[in-house]
Amino acid sequence: MTGRLSDASLDRIPPGVARPGYDRAAIRTGIVHLGPGAFHRAHQAAYADALLETDPRWGICAVSLRSPDAADALNPQNGLYTLARLDAQTDFQIIGSIREVLVAPREPEAVLDRLAAPDTRLVTLTVTEKGYCLDADDRLDETHPDIVHDIENPRRPKSAIGHLVEGLRRRREAGLQPFTVLCCDNLSDNGIKLAAATAALARRTDPALADHIESGVAFPRSMVDSITPATDDALRARVREALGLEDAWPIQREAFTSWVIEDVPGADLPDFASVGATLTRDVAGHAAAKLRLLNGPHSALAYLGLAAGHETVAEAMADPMLAGFVEDLMTAEIRPSVMAPDGLDLDAYIAAVIKRFRNPAIAHQLAQIAWDGSQKLPIRLLDTARDNLKADRPVEGIAAAVAAWMRFIRRRSRDGIAITDPHAERLAAVGRACEDRANADVARFVTEAGVVPAALASDARFIAALERGYATVQAVEDGRADVDSLRAGAA
Ligand code: CS2
């Protein structure tokens, strides 16, 4: 091994590996990003890297709100990392858009200084659904421990939203224009929800600032898409081989990427459209299509695939019964609930998603997609069930997927395996109290897990479908039935 990836070793990288064509010393930090996980580095940071070839203003200061891991991995590499695109072809690219990674608990003032800096014009976020501290009605949860803290200590925020409020306050106090805020997480109407939550938090301590946020800060909505599995040792070894250098935290994703950003007046946005993003007024249509026709089936595959003993998305899709169930779910149950945005052919979209799921080069762990189900299921599957029931359309497949989530929680809590979810404690208690009897267990999840909304909890059709799905998934787990029986149920 001859050293580590850094500015100093860039010229030793083999010619087949793309690298920044711009002078990294000449770029400025125009973007602060909250939550520098794998998806940010696979997606927004790659768009910014392409933009820096023509516009030096859009370097990124990445801010971790909790863990020092990204900072400890990237700062010794001057922010550089390898992006591996794994598809029909594999290619590697060195991404140079991240200039520094700050760790908020370690250097709070440096983070707030960056948010208040004149060069900073855009704040992007990937803090996952749970990072917004929203309640079941998608409003700010003022009982969330971080929000309680930020109301009491607004100058020393802990939450992502608290950092937005304090950053905007400092800018206003200094007579600076506010930054634009761009949520890049899988939430429907993400910018609208984030704007409301940010103003709500500000109003608790500074009503004039809240008015300023409501009237003068742009929160465009956006839809983001690129399948990005967690980094694993196999990737580290491939990158070491390709670079001849050590990269402490390379990133892998599929070749496909999409970024649809709402075109709102007054938003101070980099020209991401010049590097492949789409600027449109109808971002909601694109977001609904993606959340319902990609993320919904993804979650269904995760819980049903795990029940059937599979480990990755591609492996689950290689199971003809599971693939058949997912295709039926997408075409028969979910597609009718989606209003196709301008120019989007939903049949072609579905076919493309299924091809992407089958990508043999991507080992996307079902257990990773299974994280945070309490946050994901309402947006990805339960909203669709609500719409289908109102329109007297079927919900059998959706119910089977939600039932598979219940069985996932039941199995993990029964076997003492940790559940990754902001409500893990409550869910584990429900799972432990289950008796492996469909009607009793479904009733317990519906009344105690805090995930199924009241309208669905009181709908006898949905409850009956959940009970059928729960019993069938249990039979699949025990080998007494195969996944096709779910499709039989869906028939
Ligand atoms: C996945 C998403 O982990 C998950 O929940 O469904 O991360 C999915 O890979 C991305 O939204 C694809 O754009």
Which domain CATH number covers 202? Answer: 3.40.50.720
Question: Is 170 in the same domain as 25?
Answer: yes
428 and 292 inside one domain? yes
Both 204 and 257 in a single domain? yes
The alpha carbon of 376 and the centre of ligand 1 are apart by a number of angstroms equal to: 10
Whether 490 has a pLDDT exceeding 50, the answer reads no
Say yes or no to pLDDT of 200 above 80. yes
Q: What one-letter code names the amino acid at 159?
A: S
Q: Which of 260, 286, 295 to mutate to test the pocket of ligand 1 (most atoms within 8 A of CB)?
A: 295
Handedness of CA 468, 472, 473, 474 (dihedral sign): positive
Length of the chain: 491
End-of-domain residue from the set 281, 299, 320: 281
- Please indicate whether residue 383, judged by its CB atom, sits closer than 6 Å to ligand 1: no
For residue 240, being part of any structural domain is answered with yes
pLDDT at 265 over 90: no
**Mean of pLDDT values over 142-170:** 98
Give domain status of residue 55, yes or no.
yes
Q: DSSP states of 377-440 as a string?
A: HIIIIIHHHHHHHHTT---HHHHHHHHHHHHHHHHHHHTT----STTHHHHHHHHHH--S-HHH
Residue 2: inside a domain, yes or no?
no
What's residue 491's pLDDT? 40
Residues 188 and 171 in one domain: yes
Say which residues have a Cβ less than 8 Å from residue 416's Cβ, sequence separation at least 6.
Answer: none
The reported pLDDT for the residue numbered 1 is: 55
- Mean pLDDT, all residues of the chain: 96
What is the Cα–Cα distance from 162 to 169, expressed in whole angstroms?
Answer: 11
Same domain, yes or no, for 277 and 339? no
Q: 350 and 256: one domain?
A: no
Looking at the structure of the chain, the number of domains it has is: 2
- As a whole number, mean pLDDT of residues 136-157 equals 97
**Is 103 part of a structural domain of the chain?**
yes
Helix, coil or strand: residue 181:
strand
Torsion of CA 443, 445, 450, 451, to 10 degrees: -110
Strand partners, 51: none
Q: Is the CB of 227 under 6 A from ligand 1?
A: yes
Q: Quick one: pLDDT at residue 489?
A: 53
- Is the pLDDT confidence value at 348 over 90? yes
Q: What is the pLDDT of residues 386-443, one digit of tens each?
A: 999 999 999 999 999 999 999 999 999 999 999 999 999 999 999 999 999 999 999 9
Minimal-distance CA residue to ligand 1 atom 3: 369
- Give the up-direction half-sphere exposure of residue 427: CA atoms within 13 A in the CB hemisphere: 25
State whether the beta carbon of 337 lies less than 6 angstroms from ligand 1.
no
Atom of ligand 1 nearest to the CA of 369: 3
Q: For residue 483, name the pLDDT band (cuts at 50, 70, 90).
A: confident
Q: Is the pTM of this model over 0.75?
A: yes
**Domain termination residue (choose one: 281, 300, 316):** 281
Distance from chain centroid for Cα 364: 14
Q: What is the span of the domain harbouring residue 143?
A: 7-281
Average pLDDT value for residue range 344-367: 97
Residues 237, 22 contacting (CB under 8 angstroms): no
Ligand 1 proximity of 369 Cβ (cutoff 6 Å): yes
Position 484 scores a pLDDT of 79
The CA 114 to ligand 1 mean position distance, Å, reads: 29
**Is 204 part of any domain?**
yes
Residues 224 and 311 in one domain: no
383: buried, middle or exposed (CB in 10 Å: 19+, 13-18, 0-12)?
buried
State residue 2's pLDDT score. Answer: 73
Residue 177 has pLDDT above 90, yes or no: yes
Q: Is the pLDDT of residue 301 over 70?
A: yes
Q: Is 91 helix (H, G, I), strand (E, B) or coil?
A: strand
Residue 1 covered by a domain? no
Is 362 within 8 Å of 254 (Cβ atoms)?
A: yes
**Quick check: CB of 287 below 6 Å from ligand 1?**
no
Q: Is 152's pLDDT higher than 70?
A: yes
Together in a domain, 335 and 253: no
Q: What is the mean pLDDT of residues 335-360?
A: 96
Q: Is 298 in the pocket of ligand 1 (CB under 6 A)?
A: yes
Q: Which of 250, 281, 312 is the C-terminal boundary of a domain?
A: 281
- Ligand 1 neighbourhood includes 198 CB (under 6 angstroms): no
Token pair 């497949």: residue? 397
Q: Are both 251 and 357 inside the same structural domain?
A: no
The alpha carbon of 331 and the centre of ligand 1 are apart by a number of angstroms equal to 20
Specify if 221 maps to a domain: yes
Helix/strand/coil for 102:
strand
Rounded mean pLDDT, 469-477: 95
121-155 burial by CB neighbour count: b if 16+ within 10 A, else e? Answer: bbbbbbbbbbbbbbeeebebbeebebbeebeeebe
CA of 224 to the centre of ligand 1 (A): 10
Specify the range with the lowest mean pLDDT, choosing from 1-10, 74-83, 122-131, 480-489: 480-489
Same domain, 220 and 345: no
Residues 224 and 90 in one domain: yes
Q: What angle do CA 331, 333, 339 make, to 5 degrees?
A: 75
> Which of 133-137, 274-278, 327-331, 367-371 bottoms out in mean pLDDT, i.e. has the lowest?
133-137
What separation in Å is there between the alpha carbon of 172 and the centre of ligand 1? 36
What pLDDT sits at residue 122? Answer: 98
Instruction: Map tokens 């200061």 to a residue.
Output: 61
Q: Which atom of ligand 1 is nearest to the CA of 380?
A: 6
Cβ atoms 285, 221 nearer than 8 A: no
Residue 376: give its domain's CATH number. 1.10.1040.10
Residue of 323, 290, 291 whose CA lies nearest to 304: 323
The per-residue DSSP string of 316-385 comes to: HHTSHHHHHHHHHIIIIIIGGG----TT--HHHHHHHHHHHHT-TT---BHHHHTTTHHHHHIIIIIHHH
| 293 in the same domain as 146 | no
